[in-house]
């Protein structure tokens, strides 16, 4: 018995959709795995930048006993679980922050893959996710934003714009840099004139300038809005609970990073 042409086309289309779903599902899983590995490297970057050490040398080692770690001790998330959060050699406690950073990085990579699918454009966004996560934690711990990470972000941004295939994207990126960096710079200068102290660290200015490459001038203000709301609420809570005084500085980078992520996802 012959089937109608329309029925054959419908079956063929359904088969193609299943294959595409399986492919993108596999790519999401791949993104999670890559994100875990990059998150493990992010832990190295975070710890060594925060403590002023080189990210190249020495080899990864236990911070308590100094013993060099073997490959089986550095499998993202799994090693921490297998070792029950303790060093194999000296039984010192390993911070929960390490698997948390790896898991968050994996989820960010999978999120980018969900928005863009298996395309070249996802790779520069992975670069941005790595930078935002690393900057947020480093600034939270040490009130510094390393230039090296921002350079990685700028390179990723230029690749992102280059893959967009449009002259207008370069124009948007140029004005996005200005729209991102200029407001914080002006606020910082105004606070310095009025109060004779810094308003923002220059790392925050450079961070928002970098983000403008990705966001363009149209979306950079969403990042500002989210960051100022979240940062303001956090600062108010610190004052209410008397965990900080009015003249204390807080890390604003983590809130900027969160705002950049929200604006980016909104723009996709």
pLDDT in tens, the chain (268 residues): 444 545 444 444 444 444 444 545 888 899 999 999 999 999 999 988 887 777 777 788 877 787 888 878 888 899 889 988 888 888 888 889 999 999 999 999 999 998 888 889 999 999 999 999 999 999 999 999 999 999 999 999 999 999 986 678 899 999 999 999 999 999 988 888 887 777 778 899 999 999 999 999 999 999 999 999 999 999 999 989 888 777 778 899 999 999 999 999 999 8
pTM (two decimals): 0.86
Q: Where are the alpha helices (DSSP H) in the chain?
A: 5-50, 78-82, 97-116, 122-142, 147-162, 167-195, 202-240, 253-267
Angle in degrees, 0-180, between the axes of helices 5-50 and 122-142, rounded to the nearest 10: 30
């Amino acid at each position: 018995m012959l089937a109608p042409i329309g029925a054959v086309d419908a079956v063929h289309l359904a088969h193609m959709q299943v294959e595409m779903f399986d492919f993108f599902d596999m790519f999401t899983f791949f993104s999670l795995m890559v994100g875990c590995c990059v998150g493990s490297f992010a832990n190295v970057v975070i710890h060594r930048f925060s403590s002023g050490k080189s990210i190249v040398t020495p080899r990864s080692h236990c911070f308590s006993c100094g013993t060099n770690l073997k490959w089986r001790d550095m499998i993202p998330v799994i090693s921490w679980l297998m070792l029950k959060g303790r060093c194999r050699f000296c039984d010192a406690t390993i911070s929960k922050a390490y698997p948390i950073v790896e898991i968050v990085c994996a989820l960010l990579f999978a999120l980018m893959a969900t928005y863009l699918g298996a395309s070249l454009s996802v790779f520069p966004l992975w670069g941005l996710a790595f930078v935002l996560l690393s900057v947020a934690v480093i600034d939270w711990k040490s009130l510094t934003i390393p230039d090296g990470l921002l350079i990685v972000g700028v390179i990723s941004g230029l690749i992102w714009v280059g893959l967009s295939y449009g002259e207008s994207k370069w124009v948007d990126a140029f004005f996005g840099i200005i729209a991102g960096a200029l407001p914080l710079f002006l606020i910082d200068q105004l606070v310095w004139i009025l109060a004779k102290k810094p308003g923002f660290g220059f790392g925050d200015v450079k961070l928002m300038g970098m983000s403008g490459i990705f966001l363009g001038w149209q979306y950079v203000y969403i990042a500002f809005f989210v960051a100022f709301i979240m940062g303001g609420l956090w600062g108010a809570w610190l004052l209410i609970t008397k965990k900080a005084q009015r003249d204390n500085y807080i890390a604003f980078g983590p809130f900027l990073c969160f705002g950049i992520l929200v604006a980016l996802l909104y723009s996709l």
